[in-house]
Structure 1
Amino acid sequence: MTPVEEVNERVTNLAATQRQDAHELYVRYEDAQDDQALLRAQISLLTRERAQEARIAALEAQIRALQRDVSVLLRQRIDDGDRLTMHIQHDHDRYRELERTRDAKR
């Protein structure tokens, strides 16, 4: 396998992994939004009953935790994208160096 084919295969594998990770993050994000909507509905019901103030506080804390989780997942997705870009650039630089070395030997 040539260096170009190796680089292409690695980039293809990294891109597939990135797509899979991004899909998982989107699924988790959608689940978190669904959970958040459910928790907001529960808070509304408990507020109308007024006897459940402690429960309301707990549900609000869960919403904040979900929002933090979503924020972490989104940052992770951005970090993963940055790592993929850096890796692709590194492989590209290595390929260019191999080309320069080969051309210098000619």
Structure 2
Amino acid sequence: MLNELVLKYMGQAKVFVYPTRKDLYPLVIGEALSRGTPAVTYYLPGIRLAYGDCGAVIRVRIGDVDAMAGEALKILEDPQPAERLRRAALEWCARKRWSDVARRELRAYCSLR
């Protein structure tokens, strides 16, 4: 199945770079985190609401490609922070229930009004 293949590759990745400039509640970040893969993304309100308490989601200023690349390189080049972020991702996911995720998504949608 395609979804299983994608999750397999996410689990093998050292970092997930998500350069979207418009996303309300990207579940793909949660999928990466569930595999122990930290994410680097732009500082968007929906991402902050959904993953603001997760230390494995690194956010940079919108459009700052150099900062995004720099954060990804830090993770790729130094195994200590990469391992710390991997553990943070898995621990964050272990603490979350689907009802928490649904509430965060609702807050993100309501913040648009």
Provide the TM-score with structure 2 as the length reference: 0.26
Structure showing greater radius of gyration is 1
- Structure number with the bigger relative contact order (C-alpha 8 A, sep ≥ 6) is 1
Which one has the bigger helix percentage? 1
Which one has the bigger strand percentage? 2
Provide the TM-score with structure 1 as the length reference: 0.28
